[in-house]
Amino acid sequence: MKSAELLPFIDTIPTMRHYGKVKRVIGLMIESQGPESSIGEVCYIHVHSASKRCEIKIKAEVVGFRDDIVVLMPFTHLQDISPGSIVEATGRPLEIKVGEALIGKTVNPLGLPIDDSPLPIGMRAVTTENDPPNPLTRPPINEIMEVGVRAIDGMLTVGKGQRIGIFAGSGVGKSTLLGMIARNTHADLNVIALVGERGREVREFIERDLGSEGAKRSIIVAATSDQPALMRIKGAFTATAIAEYFRDKGLNVMLMMDSVTRVAMAQREIGLAIGEPPATKGYTPSVFGILPKLLERAGTNEHGSITAFYTVLVDGDDMNEPIADAVRGILDGHIVLDRAIANRGQYPAINVLKSVSRLMNHLVDKNHLAAAEKLRQLMSTFDQAEDLINIGAYKKGSSQEIDEAIRYSPMIKSLLKQAFDEKIPMSTSAQQLIQLSEKGEWS
């Protein structure tokens, strides 16, 4: 590198280092007298490790202030921190290294491979927290993003750069659906954030749900449930930053996050620890501030696109709980997975009547849209009359609409059902949808 090219880097090197001392530790928080720092800045806490018998540096982030006391939260454990431990300010926010060499790897929220392999060389440093694209520079979404799942491509068509929420209770098939999308999608690259997952599920998702086909074109960011709240939050922001890097390279990126609810829970832990008042159902105000800041970063810009699927874990299948309600208002559509549909063996268990893609009307042709609307009407008619049909109170011939809905119902259920390892092209999904709508049959 020439000396002229080094000058900008030399200017960024700090000429003075700021230090402070740990005063006390309360719960998840570390209180320090100094150093001079700002919110979001990374600091190093110098401690003597009894287990390693050497001096180590624990990475922490500034999350608040109390008068002249700096409040920090560590990225790892609190062990070995004691009163008087030296706190060193770096003057920089959290940065990770990103590059094409990460494709196919699983990393932690700090961007380091979790299999302890060395980080590939030739990577570029990027910050994990960035501003969303300027609204006036976002190109309109007018291209379809094929995901290979018939119920989505046919009835809830998604565009390149669209952000969709997958809402479901536990054990209804969110991770399985994400795996299907990751394997079947026509996106150039998958970036998958597993936030707050059980440690057992990370490898299972990679090997069983994602498979070798999906894994070789994916970057996985894993923050398991045993890790500190700050690491779980950074898992979401790191995955988004990686997706942004490849979007700026001109790629169409598929970002999948499981789950936004656990990101919100982690932010609630931090908010309560630094003294924020609990608001709706115990969630602090900062939770509802962080959600749009995170979710708005996906989408299109002048270079490429990030098509995003965010899972939302709803307590007791209540779709109106605070996080679900807030996320639904930010995103460009939602897919609801229904436990009743899963219980009768229909997978993916998508409740089409409760789901919506806000951009489908602008993406598909008139025949496709008309067919989807007709099938929705038939499903709605059958849903309203289902109780009467099941108890035998409905007599055939009483309503032409209900008779037609009863005839179509098994075919519609069969159309929306798909095997886990089955990939269906978008053209086939649309053709089968139109065929069923017009002729009352499909193949």
- Per-residue pLDDT reduced to its tens digit, 16-51: 778 999 999 988 889 999 899 999 999 999 998 777
Please give the tally of structural domains in the chain. 3
383 plus 239 within the same structural domain: no
- 284 and 351: one domain? yes
Closest CA to 285 of 299, 298, 301, 272: 272
Q: Kindly state whether residue 86 falls inside one of the protein's structural domains.
A: yes
Residue 269 lies in a domain: yes
Domain co-membership, 357 together with 421:
no
Instruction: Provide the CATH number for the domain around residue 42.
Output: 2.40.30.20
Question: Could you tell me if 220 and 316 lie in one domain?
Answer: yes
pLDDT by residue, tens only, the chain of 443 residues:
555 556 665 555 666 778 999 999 988 889 999 899 999 999 999 998 777 677 889 999 999 888 889 999 999 888 888 899 999 999 899 999 999 999 999 999 999 999 888 888 889 999 999 999 999 989 999 999 999 999 999 999 999 999 999 999 888 888 889 999 999 998 999 999 999 988 888 888 888 888 888 889 999 999 999 899 999 999 999 999 999 999 999 999 999 999 899 999 999 999 998 888 988 888 999 999 999 999 999 999 999 999 999 999 887 667 778 999 999 999 999 999 999 999 888 999 999 999 999 999 999 999 999 999 999 999 999 999 988 888 888 888 888 999 999 999 999 999 999 998 899 999 999 999 999 998 877 66
Residue 116 placed within a domain: yes
Enter the tokens of residue 77.
């454990």
Residues 331 and 371 occupy one common structural domain: no
Q: Where does a domain end: 61, 93, 125? A: 93
Is 413 within a domain? yes
Residue 130 shares a structural domain with residue 189: yes
227, two tokens: 């890790």
Q: How far does Cα 210 stand from its chain's mean position? A: 15
- Residue 180 is assigned to a structural domain of this protein: yes
Q: 133 with 185, same domain?
A: yes
88 and 44 Cβ atoms separated by less than 8 Å: yes
Last residue of a domain, one of 347, 363, 379: 363
- What would the two tokens of residue 228 be? 């500190």
Question: Cα(217)–Cα(24) distance, rounded to whole angstroms?
Answer: 45
Same domain, 67 and 101: no
Give the three-state DSSP class for 2: coil
Q: Are residues 258 and 354 in the same domain?
A: yes
3 belongs to a structural domain: no
Whether 12 is covered by a domain: the verdict is no
Same domain, 208 and 349: yes
Alpha carbon distances (Å) from 229 to 224, 242, 382: 10, 20, 45
- Residue pLDDT, tens place only, 322-371: 999 999 999 999 999 999 999 888 999 999 999 999 999 999 999 999 99
Do the Cβ atoms of 235 and 204 come closer than 8 Å? Answer: no
The CATH number given to whatever domain includes residue 205 is: 3.40.50.12240
Specify whether 112 is located in the same domain as 167: yes
Assigned domain for 203 exists? yes
The domain spanning residue 424 has which CATH number? Answer: 1.20.1270.330
Q: pTM (2 decimals)? A: 0.91
Identify whether residues 264 and 303 lie together within a single domain.
yes
Q: Which domain, by its residues, includes 70?
A: 17-93
Which of 338, 363, 388 delimits the end of a domain? Answer: 363
